[in-house]
Amino acid sequence: MLHKYETLLLARTEITNDELATIERYLDKHLADNGGKVVVFDKWGKLRLAYPIDGSEYGIYILARYDVPVEKVTAVLKEIETFFKLKCSDFILRTLSVRLPANAATTYQRPDSVEMGRNVTGDTFLKDNKMDLLSSVKNVGDRDFDGNGDENGEG
């Protein structure tokens, strides 16, 4: 019988793709040796932290979901935790492992990352905050500028 577990990792923004690959490879190998398997390995991307952790304002979140056989749960989880704490302490800031209920949904809600989120430009910002008047003011200014250009042309 397998139990569902998930681990959320908080990494520094300086983490390289190689380091991410080593984490993924380690989880794959370690769980396969013990009769489990990795179900999901999601990279959320760069997110703004609610408070600065270890001097950094941003962080990269990684979510791993995996199945572990019931007999080896304690040993496997302990090994994973020590791996992140001892060998990945350079680029991993926080970890959190949680057991999921058996009927847990495969989809989940997650916060939008900074990079993958909607591009916020000047116009979209004004629309979101209901300041359309300001954008019309900008257009008026453009027209004035055009008018001046015409006058210069006539002169």
Partner 1 sequence: MAKKIKLKVSSRLLKKKIRKQSYLGPKHCRFCGNAEHEPLIDYKNATFLRSFLTERSKILPSRVSGNCFFHQRELSRQIKMARSMGLLPFCAVHL
List the one residue from 2, 38, 63, 77 that touches partner 1 (CB under 8 A): 63
Let me know: does 98 contact 6? Beta carbons within 8 Å: yes
86 binds partner 1 per the rule CB under 8 A: no
- Residue 10 vs 80, nearer CB to partner 1: 10
Residue 42, both tokens: 């999601």
Q: Where in 120-139 is the site for partner 1 (CB under 8 A)?
A: none
Q: Where in 37-56 is the site for partner 1 (CB under 8 A)?
A: 47, 49-53
Minimum gap (Å) between residue 90 Cβ and partner 1: 18
Q: How far apart are CA 22 and CA 145, in angstroms?
A: 58
Residue 133, both tokens: 């008047």
Q: How far apart are CA 92 and CA 60, in angstroms?
A: 9
Per-residue x/- marks for partner 1, 15-34, CB under 8 A? --------------------
List the one residue from 111, 149, 153, 155 that touches partner 1 (CB under 8 A): 111
Residue 116, both tokens: 């993958």
Residue 143, both tokens: 């027209």
Angle between the N-to-C axes of helices 17-33 and 73-82, in degrees from 0 to 180, rounded to the nearest 10? 160
The binding site for partner 1 (CB under 8 A) comprises 8, 10, 47, 49-53, 59, 61, 63, 93-94, 96, 98, 105, 108-111
